[in-house]
Chain A
């Protein structure tokens, strides 16, 4: 039923993978839930760029994304130390940090290029203008590096004379870029919004609070972009909420959760619609359905 629903979407259909840090690993499981279905275009931002960059290297996109997220989890580089935080705060030793990121992305993507025909895009933020920068040509690794250059984790990237940082600051869920790129329907993997029923923790650390504040702003921007695009074309939203603190040890379980929730949500949508062509947000996840910023657009 899900298969039939996905094929009914007006073409070209774009798969859009959003930000969410390590929670974006859930997208590898979500891809698995799509089965043999293949979108016409793919767009990714930040963590979603890693998923999207994995999709044209082998036969099975889900398996390729799974493998790279697991590889990332096992990488020594990803284990944050206070030394790293100190060097980020002080701006010292950034060259070494950049080299480590480049080595890691080299392991993941080698010299692979973007798929031909602009069907595969990743989005970063131009720090100078604040506007999204869509990349769909040349080598994948440096583009992913720019798209996922979240402060402390990785340094900004210079490209064509501009400085690029993490895509989540301008296009956390790049549906608008997919629409501008010609998509006439969208399947969005949303891994950036906080769970409505996230348990309240009694002890906060100051940097958690600061990060949560950024997360909320980023999620609000994503909802805003979805609202604009869903007024024009259908957007099928699949969501795995971000529980604030995902660690490298959680990546395997996030992938499994992503697969399970995507299956449930897509089945829920397919139960109500056998085919989709009208503009609007099609979602089964409570945190999407109850988002008042999308109210009126959620079907």
Chain B
């Protein structure tokens, strides 16, 4: 029987295959990986708009292991996901699944950001207001203060004047989440204690080096994947995403390189063929693809460092093909995890 995928007609549905028998038999089904990571283990979650759905998939995969966060640090969309995990670690995967299934920002960003520009918009401080987002946050989260959360959690935002990343980890939770995800230009800067904050993407979109500086013993990095290079064009609509991708790649590489020079960083793989970061209606395929990739990687990691292996040394543990960019900085710390021949049903 050929199952068909709803949002990509003609492609057969790829059902995740079972994990190797040996893994399930030896460990009661749970992949033992916490032995490899020196505490305290920090989970860092990157921003990425609609690409945040990638983290639902990676989270599903990591729930098949014994890895647990002792601290969470999130940027932008990653802050929204991180706060859910911190609020209720057990329910987070299920809540995220239904939240992403429900999420539709087409009304807001239907035509992409260019569609929001109009002659009357030039004097406004943002293309959209954030009242709708605030109402959604109030609905989704029960917690109102960082102190209400079960796991210590920090939300990263950028100080608009100095450009420095700022970590909010006490006091009011929702304004910090709003600031962390205030996409520059699209949503207004958020005023907290007299300073203005914008999206973490301007300073620390993948806050690995921040986690290292704040005392992480090891880091699990939840990135958000990327879109394929489109035809290079000269209009702003084509250039802005290209420039954004350029800047965020440099930023994440320097953050990962700094962190991995000091502590082990587990870099979970992410899909590279995602639709645009403002396409909120394909989150199902996005999270499924990332689940498959992350699960295969975690199995590869368990195979490369079998029971009895010592805890990981500092370095960036990732798929061999995780970083295509030629960076001397990065090559000093990368420790590729070999991909096994039969990779648990993933592509």
Docked-complex contact A89 and B125, CB < 8 angstroms: no
A residues within 8 A CB of B232?
127-128, 156, 163
Identity of the chain A residue whose Cβ is nearest the Cβ of B116 in the assembled complex: A206
| Most chain B beta-carbon neighbours within 10 Å: one of A151, A152, A169, A220 | A220
Question: Is there contact, CB below 8 Å, between A130 and B325?
Answer: yes
**Complex alpha-carbon distance, A224 and B243, angstroms:** 18
Cα distance A94–B236 when bound, in Å?
Answer: 11
Kindly state the separation between the CA atoms of A224 and B258 in the bound complex, as whole angstroms.
Answer: 10
Tally of contacts, chain A with chain B, CB under 8 A: 126
Contact pick for A218, options B158, B160, B247, CB 8 Å? B247
Cβ A156 vs Cβ B246 within 8 A: no
Q: B243 touches which one: A89, A194, A214 (CB < 8 A)?
A: A214
Q: Which of A125, A198, A212 contacts B246 (CB 8 A)?
A: A125
Task: Report the nearest A residue to B239, measured CB to CB.
Answer: A151
Closest approach, in angstroms, between the C-beta of B77 and any C-beta of chain A? 16
B164 cross-chain contacts in A, Cβ below 8 A: 292
* A91-B234, A169-B243 given; A221·B250 CB < 8 A: yes
Closest to B126 in A: A206
User: Could you tell me the distance between the alpha carbons of A169 and B250 in the complex, rounded to whole angstroms?
Assistant: 9
B250: min CB distance to chain A, Å = 5
Q: Is the CB of B124 within 8 A of A205?
A: yes
User: Which residues of B sit under 8 angstroms from A219, Cβ to Cβ?
Assistant: 163
Cβ contact within 8 Å between A89 and B184: no
Whether B38 is near chain A, meaning CB under 8 Å from some CB there, is no
Residues of chain A within 8 A (CB-CB) of B248 are: 217
How would residues 94 to 123 of chain B score, 1 for a CB under 8 Å from any chain A CB and 0 otherwise?
Answer: 000000000000000000001001010111
Instruction: Please tell me which one of the listed residues A82, A151, A213 contacts residue B185 in the complex, with CB atoms under 8 A apart.
Output: A213
Smallest CB separation, B87 vs chain A (Å): 28
CA distance A156 to B121 in the complex (A): 26
Which residue of B has the minimal Cβ distance to A224?
A: B254
Question: Please, which residue of chain B has its CB at the minimum distance from the CB of A228?
Answer: B329
Is A131 within 8 A of B326, CB to CB? yes
Residues of A within 8 A of B117 (CB): 89
Shortest Cβ distance from residue A17 to the other chain B in the assembled complex, whole angstroms:
20
Contact, CB under 8 Å: B196 / A200: yes
Question: Do A194 and B162 touch across chains, with their CB atoms under 8 A apart?
Answer: yes
Residue tally, chain A, CB below 8 Å to B: 44
Binding site for B on A (CB under 8 A): 82, 88-91, 94, 125, 127-128, 130-131, 151-152, 155-156, 163, 165, 169-170, 193-194, 196, 198, 200, 203-207, 209-210, 212-221, 224, 228, 292
Partner of B127, one of A88, A200, A206: A206
B residues near A (Cβ < 8 Å) are: 114, 117, 119, 121-127, 158, 160-164, 184-186, 188-189, 195-196, 198-199, 201-203, 229, 232-240, 242-243, 245-251, 254, 325-326, 329
A204 touches B239 (CB 8 A): no
> Closest approach, in angstroms, between the C-beta of B204 and any C-beta of chain A?
9
In the complex formed, the residue of A with least CB distance to B158 is A216
Let me know if B326 and A151 touch, CB within 8 A: no
Contacts of A155 in B (CB 8 A): 234
Whether A194 contacts B126 by the Cβ 8 Å rule is no
A279 to chain B, nearest CB (A): 17
B236 & A152 in contact (Cβ 8 Å cutoff): yes
Question: Is A209 a contact of B163 with CB atoms below 8 Å?
Answer: no
Is there an interface contact between A89 and B247, defined as CB atoms closer than 8 Å? no
Q: Which residue of A lies closest to B159 (CB)?
A: A216
Given the known A-B contacts A125-B246, A128-B229, are A220 and B203 also in contact in the complex, defined by CB atoms under 8 Å?
A: yes
Q: In the complex where A91-B234, A210-B184, A221-B251 touch, is A165 in contact with B243 (Cβ < 8 A)?
A: yes
Q: Give chain A nearest CB distance to B346 CB in angstroms.
A: 27
B189: chain A residues at CB < 8 Å are 204, 209
Judging by beta carbons under 8 Å apart, are A89 and B236 in contact?
Answer: yes
A217 to B236, CA, bound (A): 19
Query: Do the beta carbons of B161 and A91 come within 8 Å of each other?
Result: no
Determine the distance from Cα of A285 to Cα of B198 in the docked complex, in whole angstroms. Answer: 26
Distance of A163 from chain B, by nearest CB (Å): 5
- Residues in B with CB closer than 8 Å to A198 are 161
A170/B250 in contact, CB under 8 A:
yes
Contact yes or no, A205 B122, CB < 8 A: yes
Shortest Cβ distance from A40 into chain B, in angstroms?
24
Set of chain A residues within 8 Å of B198, measured between Cβ atoms: 209, 212-213
Q: Distance in Å from the Cβ of A64 to the closest Cβ of chain B?
A: 31
Is there an interface contact between A89 and B114, defined as CB atoms closer than 8 Å? yes
